Chain A
Amino acid sequence: MAEEYSLKKIDNYRWEIPKSEGMRVPGLLYADEKMIKTVQRDRTPLQVRNVAYLPGIVNYSLAMPDMHWGYGFCIGGVAATDPDEGGVISPGGIGFDINCGVRLMRTNLTLPDIKSKLYNLLSALFNNIPCGVGCTSSLRLSFHELKKVLKDGVKWAIKNGYGVEDDLERTEEYGAMAGADPERVSERALKRGKNQLGTLGSGNHFLEIDLVEKIYLPGIAEVFGLKKNQIAVVVHCGSRGLGYQVCDDYLARMRRATDKYKISLPDKQLSCTPISSPEGKDYFGAMASAANYAWTNRQIIMHWTRETFQKILNLSPKELKMDLVYDVCHNIGKFEDYVVNGKKRKLFVHRKGATRAFPAHHPQVPRIYQSVGQPVLVPGDMGTSSYVMVGTDLAIKETWGSTCHGAGRVMSRSKAVKAAKGRSIQKELEDKGILILAKGRRTIAEEMSDAYKDVDEVVEIVEKAGLSRRVARLKPLGVIKG
């Protein structure tokens, strides 16, 4: 694997990796002077270069400002391929946690309503929502029922009493991706998925009670149902073992496909196949199934969260009004329409740790948000803020309607654990007014703020580069983690 790349500054927030041998398009990284130095410390730019080798890639191999070293694609990586030009689909460009994503719920509550009950609320959530390594759900599904989840997504949940009809429109793809084919999901994946629906998992996944601390764009915030001093809830998790297994199964199959279709790649983790090949179609059907599982997972977690809030605070659903604001995925691959060189083309967009950010009047933005654009949810780490943003027309032109997905790590997990030695991260958070309940002490150390880039800086770059705009900032009050 050649280790070289060169970097050319285009403007204050854009850096290009010019095309070199093997690259089909240049690389484009969104960062400021400070951030580009941080990301150059590891192999992130090299991974951006490697993605440019993918057959059928259009315009650029892109990296959002929260980019960091991953495997195959960097985290924060975006690449569109053209199926009509031999474009490929790469499971590594979507990730193991297929449709890892975020959902935001608003409430009618303000801080005084929950302040004295925050601990009760948090520990009830901790009890009611399974989290931690190896956690399983109270829901046990037969393969037959599970396949319905994989096909119908959130519609299945609502039919079975988890949520309301209104939630569908407030979920990317209306909670079910077209083209899902549960028959393309292996028995191993099904086995892992049947008792994990409605579980948070571990690592960087969380459920957070937040306070809306600042509003940047009041008009848009109002359409999103957000206002200052309001209590909100953020859920971050994905498709659990089922999704990991789908990716694992198909990566192994892609190794052979890569040879079969004579694709030359600098990294095996980028293994891929033409989208139109049998292998590509099978993977898409399985990937969409896993995506539907993830949306259903977050939907059920939201339902249990609503129930818990109602019970602990003794409120009716109407009084609480915990409405879904939006649910976005940040590990996904989708067919989307774009104009390239004046021609309309259907492209396959890989988003690996990147969020769709469609602007106002885009046909895929739901009716309720047509006038302003879709909400974009950018969680920070557990000690800092999360942001709600909104998409722009520029993002459609430059980044296939994509933006950042979080803060992005800067410190390895083992380094974080070392840095946390002798400190009580839990206590430090409490001093900042953030309660945390976690299954593992190690998780708290690994996920501490020092391990992440400053999310404020990340969203500032995003906004200055014109990829999306800040609508609201949320401050965590209570966090549950695996």
Chain B
Amino acid sequence: MKKYEFINHTADIGIKIGGGSLNELFENAAYALFDIIAELNKVRVKDFIKVKIEGEKIDELLADWLRELLYKFNGEGYLLKKFKVERAGEKGLEAEVGGEKLDLAQHSLKREVKAVTYHGLTVKRRDKRWEAQIIFDV
């Protein structure tokens, strides 16, 4: 399976994500989010930020992780493309993310992602792989 793929939704954008571990699943989901927002080949990895999220429920943790990263863009202007999740599980998440500040002269944005929704949100383990589904409001 691909790292992520789009699923059909009439008004918004849904993605299905896969990963060999929870860490990888979370990394792939983050990459997908920024891939929806901007042309990532033009983004350089210059700044690194630590992210820490508390939470017990895995599906909500995935939503919270993406919400936090979306705020890094919408609120602080970071375009991110490098994601290293050190730990993700029932005791929360710790990660380091990398990218650079948005510069409209250099970067091209694809679309506005308004928010991460909880509608149809799932995180499941299938054999040795993890799969998740999430819908963004665009």
**Which A residues are in CB contact (< 8 Å) with B74?**
192, 241, 244-245
B71 at the interface (CB under 8 A from A): yes
> In the bound complex, what is the Cα–Cα distance between A355 and B118 (angstroms)?
25
* Chain B interface residue count, Cβ-Cβ cutoff 8 angstroms: 31
**Which B residues are in CB contact (< 8 Å) with A69?**
9-11
> In the bound complex, what is the Cα–Cα distance between A267 and B102 (angstroms)?
35
B41 at the interface (CB under 8 A from A): no
> In the bound complex, what is the Cα–Cα distance between A188 and B68 (angstroms)?
11
**Which A residues are in CB contact (< 8 Å) with B75?**
188, 191-192, 241, 245
Partner of B117, one of A68, A71, A203, A414: A71
A394 at the interface (CB under 8 A from B): no
The 7 closest A-B pairs by CB, nearest first: A71-B119, A268-B118, A269-B119, A71-B117, A133-B109, A69-B10, A96-B115
The contact string, 1 if C-beta is below 8 Å from chain A, for chain B 26-38, is: 0000000000010
In the complex, the answer to whether B114 meets A97 with C-beta atoms within 8 Å is yes
A145 at the interface (CB under 8 A from B): no
**Which B residues are in CB contact (< 8 Å) with A54?**
none
In the complex, the answer to whether A203 meets B112 with C-beta atoms within 8 Å is yes
Best-surrounded residue of A247, A248, A255, A411 (most CB of chain B within 10 A): A248
Binding site for B on A (CB under 8 A): 42, 68-72, 75, 92, 96-97, 132-134, 188, 191-192, 201-203, 241, 244-245, 247-248, 251-252, 255, 267-269, 271, 409-415, 440, 442-443, 482
Instruction: Report 8 cross-chain contacts, Cβ distance below 8 Å, ordered by A residue.
Output: A70-B119, A71-B120, A72-B119, A409-B10, A410-B10, A412-B9, A413-B138, A440-B110
> In the bound complex, what is the Cα–Cα distance between A255 and B9 (angstroms)?
24
Who on chain A is nearest to B67 by CB? A248
> In the bound complex, what is the Cα–Cα distance between A332 and B92 (angstroms)?
34
**Which A residues are in CB contact (< 8 Å) with B11?**
68-70, 75, 409, 412-413
**Which B residues are in CB contact (< 8 Å) with A70?**
11-12, 119
**Which B residues are in CB contact (< 8 Å) with A248?**
67, 115-116
Interface set, chain B 90-138, CB cutoff 8 A to A: 102, 104, 109-112, 114-121, 135, 137-138
> In the bound complex, what is the Cα–Cα distance between A132 and B118 (angstroms)?
26
In the complex, the answer to whether B114 meets A244 with C-beta atoms within 8 Å is yes
Closest CB-CB distance, A271 to chain B, in whole Å?
7
Partner of A267, one of B64, B111, B119: B119
In the complex, the answer to whether A269 meets B64 with C-beta atoms within 8 Å is no
Who on chain A is nearest to B10 by CB? A69
> In the bound complex, what is the Cα–Cα distance between A469 and B49 (angstroms)?
55
**Which A residues are in CB contact (< 8 Å) with B116?**
248
**Which A residues are in CB contact (< 8 Å) with B114?**
96-97, 203, 244
Closest CB-CB distance, A117 to chain B, in whole Å?
30
Best-surrounded residue of B60, B102, B116, B137 (most CB of chain A within 10 A): B137
**Which A residues are in CB contact (< 8 Å) with B64?**
252
> In the bound complex, what is the Cα–Cα distance between A410 and B37 (angstroms)?
23
Given contacts A70-B11, A192-B75, A414-B6, could you give 12 more A-B pairs where the C-beta distance is less than 8 Å?
Answer: A92-B119, A96-B115, A132-B109, A133-B110, A188-B71, A201-B112, A203-B111, A248-B67, A268-B118, A271-B118, A412-B11, A413-B13
Closest CB-CB distance, A29 to chain B, in whole Å?
16
In the complex, the answer to whether B138 meets A203 with C-beta atoms within 8 Å is yes
**Which B residues are in CB contact (< 8 Å) with A42?**
10
Interface set, chain B 71-99, CB cutoff 8 A to A: 71, 74-75
In the complex, the answer to whether B110 meets A442 with C-beta atoms within 8 Å is yes
Who on chain A is nearest to B104 by CB? A134
Who on chain A is nearest to B38 by CB? A133
In the complex, the answer to whether B137 meets A412 with C-beta atoms within 8 Å is no
> In the bound complex, what is the Cα–Cα distance between A440 and B64 (angstroms)?
29
In the complex, the answer to whether B115 meets A244 with C-beta atoms within 8 Å is yes
Closest CB-CB distance, A222 to chain B, in whole Å?
37
Interface set, chain B 1-55, CB cutoff 8 A to A: 6, 8-13, 37
Who on chain B is nearest to A241 by CB? B74
Who on chain B is nearest to A439 by CB? B109
Closest CB-CB distance, A174 to chain B, in whole Å?
27
